[in-house]
Structure 1
């Protein structure tokens, strides 16, 4: 008896259509905070022993009875639109590899769910449509999705099962890949497809308040897991990525059931439960100097660092990780024993490497993205340490991943250390500080350019965590974004105003 032939691959991007920089083909080649683009057998080594959906799928018990055929896997740091060139080149190579692998018994794809290309609002829907057209209706297609996926009707229609992460910080990406393997095994064994129930909720959820270790998501996700049964093999709640200006942006629920009535009933019940918590998806936000002053006040008696989330310049949500609002606030408030990272500025990192450790150099640091209200910090800095930017990130989010931040430096101004890097990835692992000689445990204040992912590794060492809103492209309140193309009636903030499209002039 031959082993089932399963093609595996991935194409991931989280798109902030309001962000300053697009995702080019070269961005996918490099990978940033993810492995670089890999094809064929090289995929297995690229994702091995890491918190990646495909890794969990490959390592799942069910796959031991299958012949896995690697195609292509790639991801780029969140940004504005994926360029048409990048989307078409990558999609073509992925489809060609799947075509070459045929005949197939199944397809597994590691996707994000919030990709917007220059020429397709629904990047994953278009990709799944092409895969379905290639392999036919008889071959099951399953995919993992990020909890922040903006799921569309076409994504649900063109796949057999979509299974989303249940943690934010995403410490279960590999575990979700394993859940996908179990789902595909069920489909292969039964030869049947489950009924689908897909619902979109009526309000956008700020990402700063989507943490699944805190309410309201902690209880909601516990309920999601408890809903699954033999008759409801998969239940997913996606909080959505609230910075993609197209009709299907927002939270959603996907339920797969033994029959349509059970799937619909479960989906409607879950939507009602989430909707009842709408007002809880909000929290306290400080302006930069108020946040620093509060952190300094708390640090006077703290035994551990006070951590500030520079949430609006989160490179994990499309920011360029180079705004200077929080650093300027640290300087203005004369913060002591403070560190901030990562600041993406290849030119400044290169200048530090050219002058060497101990040198004092004058730089126009950061602020190069054209963000309203932001500008470079022109000042003298001391080069404290240099690094090639290559290291292992052992914390729960990166999960032992091999990061390459490019030439990096620790620059000091007053009693503040700045991590300057040449590639973007959010500050979600303590090793990112240690890679340039900063010991995070010895700091009174840490400012992380991240929204929630940093909590996985930093919450255990934090005295407390504050959220600050310095100028940046990822608005802590989605209602502040200049929406134009949402579906009518969606509330752009919890319990806020409903979106009304502008009337085009005749």
Structure 2
């Protein structure tokens, strides 16, 4: 049977403690993700990508559904989405759905789940409320969600199904879109009646570095979750949450859908209980830059044949950081590391100066440290060689960004030579004109670096880099250097978070 489905997307992961807001121009440009896309252009842009709407489109085409693409927009994580940006994009989506009234059987939305705007603490809840107000109670409204969603009661109330990713790194974004399409088909064909819902919030915040599904406890939790979708239970999601969002409903949650309320409640309770029993395992190990470098050098001396990866997690633009802090860079230089590469420092002005100077030129300038200056962060001044220049255009080939056509603007590879380097190198710094977290090897290759040939790699990413860099990593060390994404939630000045939740697994309780 041919069903008619309106499709759209609006994604933002909001770090309310970050220094920059998500303005309309960020969504129009896309910032490392595709620019604001409307109408039929959505097919060509997203079908080749590892993105939920692409997976939904692929599955819907197999079923020969008639799709009505409206609009899709995203920007790199940062602080609140401005009212102008929110109203502009949501206006396009809601007006598009309204124009299709009487001609659609369902609505699919590609959402993130952790959007906070200047006027709405629960951005996705407001989007879903507006769409529901247009289509009424009988048209199914379904959405895919990021694993880092902060699920709210409003999101659950105004939708018929919310289905979240099950991998971090998010290797299953397109797969999740396909899962949503298959779930929607059951609702449209009557194979399943309107589903009962059960939401359970967990009483502790989980650090992002402990949410990786390549390691325990998340690896086995998600394996178990998939096995629990049996019989009356149609869908089950575990969202570990996004802790740098100062909102009431911040934190991990479980949501279940089933044929009966009893089945939904039992499934949600069982999964929530399993997660709660493993609370103490959600631990994270953070090292100072100097300690991480010392460990890396010891591994190299011991004969490590692969790269040691230093994850600069607190300056990860994928979690709302500015991507312009220099703590790890300064430490690599101060410690005399003979061969390392760091990806990527956001500094459009430095990239412009490098292009003006040309390859082979020498610049004595201060780089980075222009946006985030707290806790001793600031620019790093040194003498740099302009080793390579690029235009920032390349195709991502790794499993996370797969299919993304990066358009990052002028880029430069700046080199601080170390006379003790047998390769004649030292510390290489990739400087970019657009924020994009270091999660794809092509980010290095397009500036002439084969990442697996460098003993030490510094990556501005929290977990997503593991999807493409694990195979070349001897060891991965998590670095705690100043940045706008604070991994230790217990140090954040929450004002709106609900009282009674623990700020760290088995840690102190937030008094509100």
- Give the TM-score taking structure 1 as reference length: 0.97
| 1:444 match | 455
Of 380, 387, 412, which aligns to 1:409? 412
Shift of 1:38: 0.4
| 1:371 match | 373
Deviations 1:446-505 (A, max 9, x none): 01000000000001110000001000111121111111110010111111111112xxxx
CA distance in 2, matches of 1:238, 1:417: 37
Conserved 8 A contact 2:325-2:372: no
Shift of 1:273: 0.4
Q: RMSD over aligned Cα, in angstroms?
A: 1.0
Conserved 8 A contact 2:315-2:461: yes
Shift of 1:63: 5.4
CA distance in 1, matches of 2:431, 2:373: 19
CA distance in 2, matches of 1:278, 1:141: 33
CA distance in 2, matches of 1:85, 1:374: 31
Judge which range, 379-388 or 296-305, deviates more.
296-305
CA distance in 1, matches of 2:157, 2:300: 52
CA distance in 2, matches of 1:288, 1:188: 54
Shift of 1:364: 1.4
CA distance in 2, matches of 1:476, 1:213: 19
Shift of 1:64: 2.9
SS of the equivalent of 1:198 reads strand
SS of the equivalent of 1:65 reads coil
Conserved 8 A contact 2:408-2:434: yes
Structure 1 outlier segments of 4+, above 4 Å: none
CA distance in 1, matches of 2:12, 2:136: 26
| 2:423 match | none
CA distance in 1, matches of 2:208, 2:124: 21
| 2:355 match | 353
Conserved 8 A contact 1:62-1:181: no
| 1:219 match | 220
Deviations 1:28-56 (A, max 9, x none): 01112211110000111111211000000
Shift of 1:391: 0.2
CA distance in 1, matches of 2:27, 2:372: 23
Deviations 1:185-243 (A, max 9, x none): 00101173100000110011000111001000000000111100231010000010010
Conserved 8 A contact 1:54-1:174: yes
SS of the equivalent of 2:501 reads coil
| 2:99 match | 100
Deviations 1:56-115 (A, max 9, x none): 000015753311000001110000000111001111111111112222200000000000
Conserved 8 A contact 1:168-1:453: yes
Of 391, 400, 408, which aligns to 2:403? 400
Conserved 8 A contact 2:47-2:58: no
| 1:310 match | 312
Of 326, 331, 334, which aligns to 1:332? 334
CA distance in 2, matches of 1:370, 1:64: 48
CA distance in 2, matches of 1:263, 1:224: 13
| 1:493 match | 504
The number of residues matched between the two structures is 500
| 2:86 match | 87
Judge which range, 291-300 or 211-220, deviates more.
291-300
Q: Which runs of 5+ in 2 are unaligned?
A: 418-425
* Structural mapping, 1:62-211, within 5 Å: 64-103=63-102, 104-190=104-190, 192-211=193-212
CA distance in 1, matches of 2:320, 2:213: 21
Conserved 8 A contact 2:387-2:414: yes
Shift of 1:426: 0.3
